[in-house]
Amino acid sequence: MSDSNGIVLRMENITKTFPGVVALDNVSIDLYKGEVLGILGENGAGKSTLIKILAGNYIKDSGDIFIDGQKFEIKGPAEAMSSGIRVIYQELNTINNLTVAENIFIGEQLVKGPLKIIDWKGMNKKAEELLAVMNVKLDPNAIIGDLTVSEKQIVEIAKAISQEAKILVMDEPTAALSEEETQSLFKIIQALKTKGVAIIYISHRLKEIFEITDRVTVLRDGKKVGTLKTKESDSNKLVEMMVGRDIKDMYPKRHVPIGGVVMEVNNLGAEGFDNISFKLRKGEILGIFGLLGSGRSSLVKALFGANKIKNGEIIVNGKKLRIKSPGMARDAKIGLVPLDRKIEGLALMMGVKENITLANIKELGKSFLIARNQERRKAGNWVDEIGIRTPSVEQEVNSLSGGNQQKVVLAKWLESGSQIIILNEPTRGVDVGAKIEIYKLMQDLCEKGSSIIMISSELPEILSIADRIIVMSKGRFTEEYKICDASEEGLLRSACL
Amino acid sequence: MKKTVVLLAAILVVVLAATISFSGCVQAQKAEETKAAEVIGEAAYDYYEMLREVAKKGEAYPDAPAAGKTLAFTNIMGGIPFCESVWSDVQKQWALAGGAPGDLYYADNQYDATIGLKNADIMLAKSPDVLINFQFDAKVNSIIATKFGQAGIPIIAVDVPTPGAPFMGVNNFYVSYLGGEYAVAAVEAMGGIDMLDAIVLMQFPAGGDILMLRSEGFYQAFVDKYGAEKIDPITYRADGGAGEAEQANKAMTDILSTIPDAQYVAMTSINEQTMSGCIAAIQTAGRWDPEKWFIVTMGCDDVGKQQIRDGLTDGSVAFFPERYGEYLVPAAVALMMGQIVPPFLYVENVVINKDNIDEWYPE
Amino acid sequence: MVDDKTVDVLQKKKVRLNNTAILFLILVVMFALFSYVGRPFFFSKLNLIPMINNLSFVGIIAAILTMVMVSGEIDFSIGGNIGLTACLTALLLEKGLPGWLVVIIALAGGFAMGAFNGMLVTVVGVNSIIATIGTMFIWRGIGYTITNGESKLALNTVIDYIGRGFVFKVIPFPIVLLVAVFIITYIIMNHSKWGRRIYAIGANPLASFLSGINVKKVKFIGFLFCGAAAALGGLVLTSLSAVGMPQHGQGQELVIISAIILGGTALGGGRGQILGTLAGVFILSVLYNFLTIMNIYYFYIQMVQGSVLILVVSTYEIRQAVARRRT
């Protein structure tokens, strides 16, 4: 019955919770043979969770999965693979010291002869064919580590295709691709469609959704908002569904008077980037935009003293500084809200108060001892002031939601009196409500005289919140935009220079 | 919850402190008892000699003298055959002496001074009438002797001296000399010292001076017979470890390469595990000829007996660990009864060889 | 909704803190049971005081090593350090140096050994397991070399006092040392800024570094004092045995680390309680003491100790898994 309908995959009422967060709440999707289903949603909407359940990386709390009409329990990645599900993740899984061909055929090398000797020639040849289908020229013998991010991505796709995928899931596949590369990817997708492969295409780039998908399902805050035929929808409608409110409410921007220069960076160079110069003014939000591998995170680390500076200078409040460690950056009143808060920002197994005071332990009392009451009071003040939702300041931060964790990281730097706050992807993995709060918070800080450097790869965010945007590509500065001159196309073009 | 932890800790401390004050008057009396036998002379050891004769025959001691008494035995290294033999003979003799099994306290020193000290303290807490102390380091034994001396508990030392305590066991120099004399006789039968290319002593310097005597006596027997001028140039010493065949194997391989032309060699080592490694090395090097290697080992444990039966070694000086109890328990009982015992109770050693092995150890 | 969450949180906290409380509970039960079964010997001044005396050097080192382990590192060289310190002490006494000077030199030697470990780990970047297993052999090797493998009597009024002296004529000095070290480390770990840094580094070294904490410095100082603590332990053991010998402390690193892990410290760092370590040290020692009193063979004792270690640590894991599932 369902087979005649052509439904390859049906996920019904899937629910998944994590400590403090309902990641998916009764979400259902259908996927037909030979179609491209777009899944659209903000970061934290539940897209990745849904995919990870499908791939067997997470176990759902409840709900059912049907493949070809048969109920199917996915208990691990191996089972997902065996039922023909292939996932290409945002974070690449290529093995850097193997060749292209080895990566493509990893796990199922071609063998020949009775002794099952690895058939290198055959593997290379087949790899070449696969790559040719995708219209890319790549040497099957090239070592993965030497390839660019987009080339690695292509290898991942080739790997998925080589394994006879029935259901192919692509999670933000174009995040690191240039326009040209994106187009060749779309050609591949079209080719796969005609072969009857069902594709789930995840993106938050509307343009791509319109270009490649047949239908689109929108998720928001872990719930399914609806599914539309792509042809029957338009951009405004989708955004409204995604955000759940008018776009102006989504990115509240206040006018904050901008003062004099507080930080000046001249010809700065370090590992991953070189020759970067910019000025940051009081009350300003300076956006830095760049794709993966553009050197934006390296720049942040160098500014914060975590990576060694090779050349150039940093001037803060008129004084030339040699920032050799994060401790020195902190003392210069610079704070960093890092890219991955769980790895770089928080001691997850410690409490809210310990994390808030982490950068400023020495101020926790006059003697060598910690004044516990003082600490609780300080932490409590920040919890109230920036609205961290936690049962108590003793709560382990592990159990807080992404948005609240991010606020804890921010509170850490406020507690240590930072005047220049660098935020690397401040709203990654944060739900929409918390996102808006973080934007407001950033502007509150600017109003109080702080300055902010915001690194973001989310175009709507950076275009709405920043006062000025610097674009980086391949470790170099490419262009600076005043906010009134900036557009999505412009930024992307500069980022691919 | 944190307070509960602190509270529990505090309770423990209080309880411990309380024990300090209430118990502790157990041991003071003992000091007086042992000094009874002050008579010095041949007759003084009569009681010990009498018990020793009974023990030798494996008969029950008259009047069950150990009944109601307690004896502590700390073993040097439980689990190895030598020590297990000593321990089982002590148990056997204790039963013959009329002692209850529960009154024989046991602890295992594990070749470890830290454990030895802990065990000594635990034994002290159990206040036995006598301690048989089998602990590997003579200097550590001095602090053990001090503690037991203060408590008035006499000690009998086994194989390793304990200051102030009668010593029972092997006279290392004597057994080694005995082995040396046996080798000298073999060399003489072969045609004299000029036939001999090398004398190899596989030693264990880290074991201390007394253990060194267990191979130096062998050398001394040769020197006494032929003079140092003849012997010194052909004597080779090496560190073969405490009994790991592998280290002995390496050491022997090194020696073989320093004496590439030697054919007739006399050799001894501190124990038979070491010798196994040495023989393996000689065989590996393709230089093994049982007619030309005169090997005398020390101990005659199961490994040593097998080596003799296999024709690998020419003889072994038997330490008879399975007879240690025949000396130890009579001495301990004599001390319990307020009698005195000789300061040195040496094992009556015998060289075991192919001809007499079945007599001593019938298969 | 809010109420639900609060209840949840309370349960979770209870679970986490209770581990140490449970250990003390186990200890109390053990004392009670052993006192009855092992009467009259176990629960007596004659037994318990020397027992604590003998565990003191293990406890002193365990307390400091707990700090190193909470910071996410480990030090296997403590046993070798004990041996070398013991040899050094005996040799210097033999040379006729005054006791107080010998103590100072021995402790300085401990600091030096700790500094060397710290340098290897924080400056050169060698994994601490590898670095300290290496130095463990080096320290012990030096001990054997300088003494020729022989044990040496170490008798001197100052040295005697460290392991066998009495404060106010009743309290053995090693116990005073033990209590002092535990009070100090307890305050540091639970109430001081330094302790906070140690826990933070163990919980997340990268986040701590990016919060301006000098991770390398904290770790280095941990190793430094661990070396000194091991040297102090070596002095105590030398005094307890009145002998300096290169074999001293052999195998003690595993005893000490077992006690720490038994006490609830996570091998990966971030978790661990000083009082838990104290309980761990006591549980292992009390077990040994009681079983020896009961004439149990050493190999069985080892089996029991190993089983208890695995049992308790498994319990931690299970409790943690349960706690995680509850949220």
Q: B284-332, pLDDT tens digit by residue? A: 999 999 889 999 999 998 889 999 999 999 999 999 999 999 999 999 9
Both A155 and A292 in a single domain? Answer: no
The pLDDT assigned to B18 comes to: 54
Q: Kindly tell me if the per-residue pLDDT of B119 is higher than 60.
A: yes
Quick one: average pLDDT of B13-22? 55
Q: Kindly tell me if the per-residue pLDDT of C222 is higher than 80.
A: yes
Least confident of A99-113, A222-236, B203-217: A99-113
Q: Kindly tell me if the per-residue pLDDT of A429 is higher than 50.
A: yes
The pLDDT assigned to B11 comes to: 63
Quick one: average pLDDT of A45-60? 85
Task: Using the CB atoms, write b or e for C84-123: b if 16+ within 10 Å.
Answer: bbbbbbbbbbeeebebeebbebbbebbbebbbbbbebbbe
**Binning pLDDT at 50, 70 and 90, where does residue C11 land?**
very low
The H or E element spanning position A479 is: strand A476-482
Both A257 and A226 in a single domain? Answer: no
Q: Kindly tell me if the per-residue pLDDT of C161 is higher than 90.
A: yes
The pLDDT assigned to C177 comes to: 97
Our CA-based measurement puts residue A349 at a distance from the nearest CA of chain C, in whole angstroms, of 6
Dist CA B80 CA B59 (whole Å): 27
Quick one: average pLDDT of B67-73? 96
Instruction: Give SS3 for C213.
Output: coil
| pLDDT tens, residue by residue, B141-154 | 999 999 999 999 99
Q: What is the DSSP letter of A369?
A: B
For the record, the structure tokens of C178 come out as 């033990």
pLDDT, chain C, mean: 92
| pLDDT tens, residue by residue, A274-302 | 999 999 999 999 999 988 778 888 999 99
C→A interface, C-beta within 8 Å: 2, 5-6, 9, 12-13, 187, 191-194, 196-197, 199-200, 203-204, 206-214, 270-271, 327
* Domain extent at residue A391: 250-495
Domains and CATH numbers, chain C: 24-326 (1.10.3470)
Quick one: average pLDDT of A379-393? 91
For the record, the structure tokens of C43 come out as 């629960």
Q: Kindly tell me if the per-residue pLDDT of B208 is higher than 80.
A: no
The pLDDT assigned to C71 comes to: 96
| pLDDT tens, residue by residue, A158-217 | 887 777 778 889 887 776 676 777 787 888 888 888 888 899 998 767 778 888 899 999
**Binning pLDDT at 50, 70 and 90, where does residue A1 land?**
very low
For the record, the structure tokens of B124 come out as 């002290």
Quick one: average pLDDT of B49-62? 94
Answer whether A156's CB lies under 8 Å from A168's CB. no
ipTM for this model: 0.91
**Binning pLDDT at 50, 70 and 90, where does residue B219 land?**
very high
Both A345 and A229 in a single domain? Answer: no
Is the Cβ pair C17, B113 closer than 8 Å? no
Dist CA A76 CA A91 (whole Å): 19
**Binning pLDDT at 50, 70 and 90, where does residue B199 land?**
very high
DSSP states along B15-50:
HHHHHHHHS--SSGGGGGGGG-----SGGGGHHHHH
Dist CA B122 CA C50 (whole Å): 8
Backbone dihedral angles phi then psi of residue A328, each to the nearest 5 degrees: -70, -35
Residues of A within 8 A of C271 (CB-CB) are: 349
| pLDDT tens, residue by residue, C26-50 | 999 999 999 999 989 999 999 999 9
The pLDDT assigned to C4 comes to: 40
Quick one: average pLDDT of A62-83? 85
Dist CA A34 CA C42 (whole Å): 79
Neighbour tally for C175: CB within 10 Å: 18
Q: Which residue has the tokens 């996932």?
A: A87
Quick one: average pLDDT of B156-182? 93
Q: Of C28, C252, C298, which has the smallest distance from its Cβ to B78's Cβ?
A: C298
Q: Give the Å distances, CA to CA, from B199 to B221, B230, B232, B294, C9.
A: 12, 11, 9, 9, 78
Q: Of A344, A368, A394, which has the smallest distance from its Cβ to C210's Cβ?
A: A344
Q: Kindly tell me if the per-residue pLDDT of A397 is higher than 80.
A: yes
CA angle A293, A294, A297 (to 5 degrees): 85
Closest CA to A242 of A458, A2, A466, A18: A458
The pLDDT assigned to C3 comes to: 37
Task: Using the CB atoms, write b or e for A47-62: b if 16+ within 10 Å.
Answer: bbbbbbbbbbbbebee
| pLDDT tens, residue by residue, C101-136 | 999 999 999 999 999 999 999 999 999 999 999 999
Query: Strands A215-220 and A198-203: what pairing?
Result: unpaired
Quick one: average pLDDT of A454-474? 89
The pLDDT assigned to C325 comes to: 66
User: Domain segments of chain B: what residues?
Assistant: 35-169+322-347, 172-318
Q: Kindly tell me if the per-residue pLDDT of C17 is higher than 60.
A: no
Instruction: Give SS3 for B111.
Output: coil
Both A184 and A273 in a single domain? Answer: no
Our CA-based measurement puts residue B122 at a distance from the nearest CA of chain C, in whole angstroms, of 6
Residues of A within 8 A of C191 (CB-CB) are: 369-370, 372
**Binning pLDDT at 50, 70 and 90, where does residue B67 land?**
very high
Quick one: average pLDDT of A410-415? 94
Query: Strands A111-112 and A117-118: what pairing?
Result: antiparallel
Q: Which residue has the tokens 């008892």?
A: B33
Q: Quickly name the fold that domain B172-318 has.
A: Rossmann fold (3.40.50)
Select from A230, A246, A262 the last residue of a domain.
Answer: A246
Instruction: Tell me if chain B has a CB within 8 Å of the CB of C14.
Output: yes
Dist CA A184 CA A193 (whole Å): 14
Q: Quick check: do B35-169+322-347 and B172-318 share a fold? A: yes
Selected residue with higher pLDDT from C1 and A436:
A436
Q: Give the Å distances, CA to CA, from C75 to A378, C115, C124, C132, C223.
A: 36, 12, 16, 6, 7
Selected residue with higher pLDDT from C319 and C58:
C58
Instruction: Tell me if chain B has a CB within 8 Å of the CB of C277.
Output: no
Q: Kindly tell me if the per-residue pLDDT of A267 is higher than 70.
A: yes
- CATH classification at residue A28: 3.40.50.300
Quick one: average pLDDT of C249-265? 95
Both A232 and A184 in a single domain? Answer: yes
The pLDDT assigned to B25 comes to: 38
Dist CA B31 CA B21 (whole Å): 22
Q: Which B positions 295-354 lie with beta carbon below 8 A of chain C?
A: none
Both A331 and A471 in a single domain? Answer: yes
CATH says B35-169+322-347 is which class? alpha beta
CA angle A186, A189, A193 (to 5 degrees): 140
Instruction: Tell me if chain B has a CB within 8 Å of the CB of C306.
Output: no
Dist CA B119 CA B77 (whole Å): 13
Number of structural domains, chain A? 2
Select from A189, A211, A246 the last residue of a domain.
Answer: A246
Select from A231, A246, A261 the last residue of a domain.
Answer: A246
The pLDDT assigned to B353 comes to: 92
Task: Using the CB atoms, write b or e for A18-46: b if 16+ within 10 Å.
Answer: bebbbbbbebebbbebebbbbbbbbbbbb
| pLDDT tens, residue by residue, A125-137 | 888 887 777 667 7
Answer whether B298's CB lies under 8 Å from B268's CB. yes
Q: Of B1, B105, B138, which has the smallest distance from its Cβ to C17's Cβ?
A: B1
**Binning pLDDT at 50, 70 and 90, where does residue B13 land?**
low
Q: Kindly tell me if the per-residue pLDDT of B191 is higher than 60.
A: yes
Residues of C within 8 A of B26 (CB-CB) are: 44, 46
pLDDT cut 70: percent of chain A above it: 93
The pLDDT assigned to A2 comes to: 39
Backbone dihedral angles phi then psi of residue B352, each to the nearest 5 degrees: -95, 135
The pLDDT assigned to A4 comes to: 46
Instruction: Tell me if chain C has a CB within 8 Å of the CB of B103.
Output: no
| pLDDT tens, residue by residue, C49-95 | 999 999 999 999 999 999 999 999 999 999 999 999 999 999 999 99
Q: Which residue has the tokens 């040799």?
A: C91
* Mutation site, A22, A59, A363, A368, interface C, largest C CB count within 10 A: A368
Cis bond leading into C40, ω under 30°? Answer: yes
Is the Cβ pair C211, A343 closer than 8 Å? no
The pLDDT assigned to A247 comes to: 65
Both A48 and A108 in a single domain? Answer: yes
Q: Which B positions 203-232 lie with beta carbon below 8 A of chain C?
A: 205-209
Where helices occur in B204-323 by DSSP H, the ranges are 209-226, 228-231, 245-258, 272-284, 302-309
* CA of residue A161 relative to chain centroid, distance: 25
Is the Cβ pair A358, C5 closer than 8 Å? no
pLDDT cut 90: percent of chain C above it: 86
Instruction: Give SS3 for A349.
Output: coil
Q: Give the Å distances, CA to CA, from B214 to A141, C62, C72.
A: 68, 40, 49
Answer whether B109's CB lies under 8 Å from B326's CB. no
Both A167 and A279 in a single domain? Answer: no
Both A320 and A228 in a single domain? Answer: no
Answer whether A146's CB lies under 8 Å from A91's CB. no
Instruction: Give SS3 for A36.
Output: strand
The H or E element spanning position A81 is: helix A77-82
The pLDDT assigned to A195 comes to: 80
**Binning pLDDT at 50, 70 and 90, where does residue B17 land?**
low
B21, HSE (Cβ side, Cα atoms, 13 Å):
5
The pLDDT assigned to A360 comes to: 92
Least confident of C16-25, C155-164, C309-318: C16-25
Handedness of CA B10, B11, B12, B14 (dihedral sign): positive
The pLDDT assigned to C292 comes to: 96
For the record, the structure tokens of A395 come out as 């709560």
Quick one: average pLDDT of B44-62? 93
Neighbours of chain B (3+ CB pairs under 8 A): C
The pLDDT assigned to A191 comes to: 82
**Binning pLDDT at 50, 70 and 90, where does residue C15 land?**
very low
Both A202 and A340 in a single domain? Answer: no
pLDDT, chain B, mean: 88
The pLDDT assigned to A185 comes to: 81
* CA of residue A57 relative to chain centroid, distance: 18
Q: Kindly tell me if the per-residue pLDDT of A119 is higher than 90.
A: no
| pLDDT tens, residue by residue, B220-238 | 999 999 999 999 999 999 9
Q: Is C140 exposed, middle or buried (0-12, 13-18, 19+ CB in 10 A)?
A: buried
Is the Cβ pair B206, C170 closer than 8 Å? no
CA angle A159, A163, A166 (to 5 degrees): 115
Quick one: average pLDDT of C234-247? 95
Q: Is A209 exposed, middle or buried (0-12, 13-18, 19+ CB in 10 A)?
A: buried
